[in-house]
Amino acid sequence: MNQILLLTSVFAQTPVADTVTTVVETTASVAAPASQIGFMLALLGAAVAALLAGIGSAIGINYPARAADGVLSESPEKFGSLFLLVALPGTQGFYGFVGAFLILGKLAKVTTMEQGLSLLIASIPVAVAGLVSAIYQGKTCAAGVQLVAKRADQAMKGVINAALIETYAVLGLLVSFFLINAVKL
């Protein structure tokens, strides 16, 4: 109702050319929130990608790091064999960062809510795959640390087992990469 009163007062007080300009400006200001929502959704997608994968990596690194500390307290010379097992669950955090970076690179071109929502949805594979695989990879790496504690020459077997889980984090990143690039901006 207020819009009708606004339009009638605009029509009554201004010439036609000014009225058209005012209506166009009013329409543009009303349309701006949709593009702002799209921008915020895309920004949320970047945050989700980095945050969930980063949380997974932090939790995942926790398992082998605690186990390695116990082994290193008695055998500090095994640090080199244990380092890769401790660091491996951290790679998912990097994958989430890459996904976030890809979305941030497209942020300036987001003009509709649908585009922002599409980028948010595109962030989900790398975010969820990173979160879940990092945690399970951490548990597998902790078992690899126990293997190194008893047989240091078998360290690569623990790394290979953990690398199998890494495959799914990489697949999550690839799916997000293809989805992000499929969004029409």
DSSP code string of 23-75 = HHHHHHHHHHHHHHHHHHHHHHHHHHHHHHHHHHHHHHHHHHHHHHHHHHHH-
Using alpha carbons, select from 65, 101, 99, 100 the residue that is nearest to residue 84. Answer: 65
DSSP 88: G
Q: What are the C-alpha distances in Å from 103 to residues 57, 94, 116, 130, 142? A: 20, 14, 10, 16, 33
Superfamily designation of domain 32-182: lithium bound rotor ring of v- atpase (1.20.120.610)
d(CA 123, CA 46): 7
> What is the arithmetic mean of pLDDT over 72-99?
94
Query: Which of 9-23, 41-55, 63-77 is predicted least confidently?
Result: 9-23
Higher pLDDT, 21 or 177: 177
- The sign of the dihedral angle between the CA atoms of 77, 83, 84, 86 is positive
Does pLDDT of 26 surpass 70?
no
Where do the H-state alpha helices sit in the chain?
A: 2-13, 16-74, 79-87, 91-106, 113-150, 155-182
Alpha-carbon torsion angle 172, 177, 178, 182, nearest 10 = 140
pTM over 0.85: no
On the CB side of 40, CA atoms within 13 Å amount to 6
Could you tell me which residue, 72 or 23, shows the higher pLDDT? 72
Percent of the chain with pLDDT over 70: 82
- For residue range 105-161, list pLDDT tens digits in order: 999 999 999 999 999 999 999 999 999 999 999 999 999 999 999 998 898 999 999
Residue 5 has pLDDT above 70, yes or no: no
